[in-house]
């Protein structure tokens, strides 16, 4: 229960739709299973890190496919700002990819910080 309270507090720090992770959505998607939600978030965090790194290494024509993968995962976990930034990368012309990818990296950084906070609280409760 304490973790749900923490997630609600995190959501109230930003206007609706702007929080890095919509924990209410995530908990609905994981049927209220906090352990599953934490595992899904850890996987999402690692996936975004890997895919954004790949964006720098692949041909620009492949970046949209990587962004599409991030967008779908972000929608699944309730990371609205990440999903919107990934969608912007998907539709960006080649000449505008760099700033779009930078915005995506910033959004994933904010989501990663929210995930780290949640997992830190989980570890504190378990110890």
pLDDT in tens, 2-54: 333 333 333 334 445 589 999 999 999 999 999 999 999 999 999 999 999 99
Confidence of residue 123 (pLDDT cuts 50, 70, 90): confident
Q: What is the pTM of this model?
A: 0.84
Which helix (H) or strand (E) is 43 found in, with range? helix 34-57
Average of per-residue pLDDT across 105-123: 93
Predicted pLDDT at 4: 33
Give Dmax (Cα) for the chain: 50
Where residue 125 falls among pLDDT bands split at 50, 70, 90? confident
User: Residue 115's CB: how many other CB atoms inside 10 A?
Assistant: 22
CA-nearest of 49, 57, 55, 59 to 82 is 49
Residue partners of 70: CB distance under 8 A and separation at least 6: 47, 48, 51, 52, 82, 83, 86, 104, 108
CATH topology of domain 2-126: 1.20.120
The confidence score (pLDDT) of residue 122 equals 81
Q: How confident is the model at residue 126 (pLDDT cuts 50, 70, 90)?
A: confident
Q: What is the pLDDT of residues 54-80, one digit of tens each?
A: 999 999 999 999 999 999 999 999 999
Distances (CA, A) of 47 to 16, 29, 32, 67: 25, 18, 22, 11
**For 21, which DSSP code?**
-
Instruction: Determine the Cα–Cα distance for residues 38 and 126; give it in Å rounded to an integer.
Output: 13
Determine the Cα–Cα distance for residues 99 and 78; give it in Å rounded to an integer: 23
């Amino acid at each position: 229960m304490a973790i749900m309270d923490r997630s609600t507090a995190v959501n109230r720090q930003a206007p609706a739709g702007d929080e890095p992770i919509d924990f209410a959505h995530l908990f609905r998607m994981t049927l209220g299973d906090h352990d599953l939600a934490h595992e899904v978030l850890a996987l999402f965090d690692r996936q975004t890190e890997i895919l954004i790194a790949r964006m720098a290494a692949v041909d620009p024509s492949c970046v949209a496919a990587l962004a599409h993968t991030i967008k779908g995962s972000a929608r699944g976990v309730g990371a609205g700002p990440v999903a919107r930034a990934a969608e912007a990368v998907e539709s960006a012309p080649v000449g505008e990819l760099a700033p779009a990818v930078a915005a995506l990296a910033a959004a994933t950084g904010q989501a990663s910080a929210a995930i780290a906070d949640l997992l830190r609280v989980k570890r504190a409760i378990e110890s």
